[in-house]
Amino acid sequence: MSLANLSLRGVTKRFGGLTAVSSVDLDVAEGSIAAIIGPNGAGKTTLFNLITGVYAPSEGSISFEARDVRRALDRRAIELGTSVAAGCALLGVAIAAGVPAFEALVSGYRYAEPFAWGAGLGRALSAFGERAVGVVLGALAGTAVGAGGYAVTWRRGRVRPHLLARQGFGRTFQNIRLFKDMSVLGNVLVGLHPRLEAGFWASLLRLPSQRREEAGARAEATGLLEFVGLADRRDALAKNLPYGDQRRLEIARALALRPKVLLLDEPTSGMNPNETQALTRLIGEIRERFRVTVVLIEHHMKVVMGISERVTVLDHGAKIAEGTPAEVSAHPAVIEAYLGKGDEDVE
Amino acid sequence: MRRPPIGVLVVAAAVLYPAVHAIGIGPSLGGLVTILFFTLLAVGLNIVVGYAGILHLGYAAFFGVGAYAAGILTTPSHPFGWPFWLALPVGGAAGALLGLVFSAPLLRLRGDYLAIVTLGLGEILQVVLINLPGVTRGNSGLSPIGAPRLLGYELDQRYPAFWYYFVLALLLLAVAVSRAVERSRFGRAWVAIRENELAADCMGVNPVRAKLLAFVLSAVVAGVAGAAYGSFAGGLYPTAFTFNISATLLCMVILGGMGNPAGVVLGAVLLAGFDRVVAPFLTEQAGRLLPGGGGGSWRIFLEFHNYRFLLYGIALVILMRIRPQGLLPSAEMREELLEREEAASAAGAPA
């Protein structure tokens, strides 16, 4: 077995008194297809939300390629925090004495008479001096609020979906979440967003470098649409696609991130047997072509048994079984979770 | 042949209008400048409301901050006496700064909560303007405001043609900026957040940063517009920056078609045009046609200007009922309509 590149240790998520996911350990090997199954309300989607940073775990840790997925305190964060604190300190000073200082500066000015700037600035400085205590307190309070606020924001921002997406997690949603009023192509282009580098001014002026990048992005997005079979609908609005196509568009959009791990939340739900079969094939092709690790939540046992190498079974937020599809389907706890206890059986 | 160059025709007509007016046809240029100011602001508001989907109810605050920042620097009642052309970018910068300071705590909120806070921001600014007499002269207003100087001319309100072309140029610039950013990755990030914030976040779009950009960019437009407006109006009073302005601008954006600068221009011209051109015309005609020159105590009912909010409301209700996407929806909607037409004509063609 190859190295586990996604690993969860004791991951727990509580919503108030409800424990949605309880102390789950999970290892997904690089390049494998792993399935997560379980009855409704077992915590499968919550687990996906934890892996992709929608929620931060209440307890436990998630690591990817042997590194904690949480953002470290890097130099950029410290620089930004320092400048926010400095800005808030200035704001504090302005609130404490800005208006009196301004009034002192302009006092003594008569319409159309020459104004003595030196004296004005002296008055403004002495206005600050008279309120020295307030100014110092304002600066201190501003620094405290700025630094504290930034620290809280940074702490909360350690786990965010866009950060996880940039680390290589692409996902789809159980209840499709497309950008409905955007074109099909536009949806895929959003997936390319983190890899595009054009700056704001380059975009504003439509510099050649930005145009080239946009053209390249369009070509790449069109290629992905061809791969999932939607290239002929690229200018349609996403909301006007049939249901099955919407699911495939979600996959194309996630692939645009060039993910290392692709998480599919019930990719075949609401599909007929033909569509299900086609999508199962597509998942296999995705793994071959894009060399991704696939984690899927699925209810169609045929899909699960057909393509996944390891199956994890959740019930009431806890992992109750794990193994190959054959092992899991024979596991007594799994049968019990799905079909109920056997003690009422007659004969 | 897909799209006739309506935009080019409209711009050409707008550029040529003063020549037509010179031979005595049509409404005065001064009235049109006000319409252009409203249009400019609506295009700026569209960045935050139309693209990023943030319901912004305090846009007048950014307009006001830009106006007062530039006004204080140019008015002879303060000692600074800056030339207008230097104060104009300062107005934009002041708007941006206010946007930056307020959006840090603001943008972590969503939907209705965010809207309420922007509403509060607009109200606070007006109270601040009234209660800082040493800086803003309070209710007595900051007046006069320095006019731009160009080639030795002091271009105040007596030169409506200058203002007409100047504000028209600002408007075209704002539309060009909107269009350019709309087609870039930043514009796509805005629309993605508007459509589904969670999905956008999971696609690597930082929602806070994207909203911040929209907020600040629209604040810059408002700030520059404010700086120019102060000079045009010649004086600044807190009552010029009430919630009514924010609400009217929002009506223009929604009526015209959120997310499409051309639609927003149409909405703004219709609403502001009613206020500044149609209503005065109707009032004048009523006064002429009615016996006694329209005098008498019921005269006030013929001030059509006073019906504007009633009519805006009715227009919005009707629009929401029959055309919720606005008069001129965004380009992607048009593409979709076109595609349907093509499909229909292909189906109708003989095999």
Q: Cα distance from B141 to chain A (closest Cα, Å)?
A: 16
Q: Do B203 and A193 touch (CB under 8 A)?
A: yes
Q: Do B202 and A190 touch (CB under 8 A)?
A: no
CA distance B340 to A233: 12
What's the residue count for chain A? 347
| Residue B346: other Cβ atoms inside 10 A | 8
Give yes or no for a contact between A3 and A59, defined as CB atoms under 8 angstroms apart. no
What is the tens place of the pLDDT at every residue in A265-304? 999 888 888 888 899 999 999 998 999 999 999 888 888 8
- In B, which residues are within 8 Å of A154 by CB distance? none
CA distance A84 to B159: 45
Using CB atoms, pick whichever of B76, B205, B332 lies closest to residue A162. B205
CA distance A319 to A331: 13
Mutation choice for B interface testing from A181, A188, A251 by most B CBs within 10 A: A181
Q: Do B76 and A112 touch (CB under 8 A)?
A: yes
**pLDDT(B253) > 70:** yes
In order of A247, A249, A299, the CA distances from A302 in angstroms are 19, 23, 9
A33 Cβ neighbours under 8 A, 6+ residues apart: A283, A284, A287, A293, A294, A295, A296, A307, A308, A309
For residue B47, the model assigns a pLDDT of 94
Strands A59-64 and A318-323: unpaired
Alpha helix stretches (DSSP H) within chain A = 44-51, 75-106, 117-130, 132-156, 161-167, 184-192, 200-204, 208-228, 243-255, 273-290, 301-307, 325-330, 332-339
Q: Cα distance from B302 to chain A (closest Cα, Å)?
A: 43
CA distance A218 to A255: 14
**pLDDT(B313) > 80:** yes
- In A, which residues are within 8 Å of B195 by CB distance? 178-182
**pLDDT(B3) > 60:** no
Reported as a pLDDT band with limits 50, 70 and 90, residue B351 is: very low
Q: Cα distance from A347 to chain B (closest Cα, Å)?
A: 51
Q: Is the dihedral of CA A121, A126, A131, A132 positive or negative?
A: positive
Strands A318-323 and A310-315: antiparallel
Average confidence score pLDDT of chain B: 84
Place of tokens 């290239």: A231
Nearest CA-CA partner of B48 in B291, B265, B287, B213: B213
For residue B133, the model assigns a pLDDT of 82
Using CB atoms, pick whichever of B183, B204, B332 lies closest to residue A257. B204
Average confidence score pLDDT of chain A: 89
Q: Cα distance from B308 to chain A (closest Cα, Å)?
A: 32
Nearest CA-CA partner of B10 in B195, B219, B172, B118: B172
Q: Do B76 and A54 touch (CB under 8 A)?
A: no
CA distance B75 to A101: 19
Q: Where are the domains of chain A?
A: 1-70+159-168+259-347, 75-156, 178-256
CA distance B290 to B293: 6
pLDDT: which is higher, A343 or A277? A277
**pLDDT(B347) > 80:** no
Q: Which residue of B has its CA nearest to A115?
A: B79
SS3 state of residue A229: coil
Q: Which residue of B has its CA nearest to A250?
A: B199
Q: Cα distance from B22 to chain A (closest Cα, Å)?
A: 36
For residue B294, the model assigns a pLDDT of 52
Q: Which residues of B127-164 are buried (b: 16+ CB within 10 A; e: fewer)?
A: ebbeebeebbbeeebbbbbbbbeeeeeebbeebbebbb
What is the tens place of the pLDDT at every residue in A156-215? 888 999 999 999 999 999 999 999 989 999 999 999 999 998 888 988 888 999 999 999
Q: Which residues of A160-181 are buried (b: 16+ CB within 10 A; e: fewer)?
A: bbbbbbebbbbbbbeebbbbeb
Q: Can you spell out the DSSP letters for B285-298?
A: HHHHHSGGGG-SGG
Q: Is the dihedral of CA B169, B174, B177, B182 positive or negative?
A: negative
Q: Do A111 and B76 touch (CB under 8 A)?
A: yes
Q: Cα distance from A316 to chain B (closest Cα, Å)?
A: 25
Using CB atoms, pick whichever of B78, B132, B203 lies closest to residue A253. B203
SS3 state of residue A56: coil
Q: Which residue of A has its CA nearest to B175?
A: A204
Give yes or no for a contact between B157 and B163, defined as CB atoms under 8 angstroms apart. yes
Q: Do A200 and B186 touch (CB under 8 A)?
A: yes
Q: Do A203 and B135 touch (CB under 8 A)?
A: no
Q: Cα distance from A334 to chain B (closest Cα, Å)?
A: 32
- For residue B13, with 0-12 CB atoms within 10 Å meaning exposed, 13-18 middle and 19 or more buried, which class applies? exposed
CA distance A154 to B346: 56
Q: Do A173 and B201 touch (CB under 8 A)?
A: no
Q: Which residue of B has its CA nearest to A206?
A: B180
Q: Can you spell out the DSSP letters for A98-149?
A: HHHHHHHHHTT--TTS---HHHHHHHHHHHHHHTHHHHHHHHHHHHHHHHHH
Using CB atoms, pick whichever of A194, A210, A235 lies closest to residue B184. A210
CA distance A211 to A237: 23
Q: Which residue of A has its CA nearest to B137?
A: A103
B288 Cβ neighbours under 8 A, 6+ residues apart: B294
| Residue B83: other Cβ atoms inside 10 A | 13
- In A, which residues are within 8 Å of B102 by CB distance? none
Q: Do A165 and B135 touch (CB under 8 A)?
A: no
Reported as a pLDDT band with limits 50, 70 and 90, residue B156 is: confident
A1-70+159-168+259-347: CATH architecture? 3-Layer(aba) Sandwich (3.40)
CA distance A40 to A315: 9
For residue A122, the model assigns a pLDDT of 86
Q: Taking the mean position of all CA atoms in its chain, how far away is CA B124?
A: 20
Q: Which residue of B has its CA nearest to A152?
A: B105
What is the tens place of the pLDDT at every residue in B191-231? 999 999 999 999 999 998 999 999 999 999 999 999 999 99
Q: Is the dihedral of CA A134, A140, A146, A148 positive or negative?
A: negative
Q: Do B203 and A257 touch (CB under 8 A)?
A: yes
CA distance A258 to A169: 9
Nearest CA-CA partner of A49 in A8, A18, A16, A3: A8
Q: Do B184 and A198 touch (CB under 8 A)?
A: yes
Q: Do B204 and A200 touch (CB under 8 A)?
A: no
**pLDDT(A216) > 80:** yes
What average pLDDT does range B133-148 have in this prediction?
A: 83
CA distance B319 to B326: 7
**How big is the A-B interface in CB pairs under 8 Å?**
136
For residue B226, the model assigns a pLDDT of 94
Lowest mean pLDDT among A62-76, A117-131, B15-29, B79-93: B15-29
Q: Which residue of A has its CA nearest to B98?
A: A91
Reported as a pLDDT band with limits 50, 70 and 90, residue B295 is: low
Q: Cα distance from B273 to chain A (closest Cα, Å)?
A: 30
Using CB atoms, pick whichever of B79, B101, B335 lies closest to residue A120. B79
Using CB atoms, pick whichever of B79, B196, B202 lies closest to residue A106. B79
Reported as a pLDDT band with limits 50, 70 and 90, residue A1 is: very low
Q: Where are the domains of chain B?
A: 28-243
What average pLDDT does range B330-338 have in this prediction?
A: 55
Q: Do A161 and B198 touch (CB under 8 A)?
A: yes
Q: Cα distance from B192 to chain A (closest Cα, Å)?
A: 6
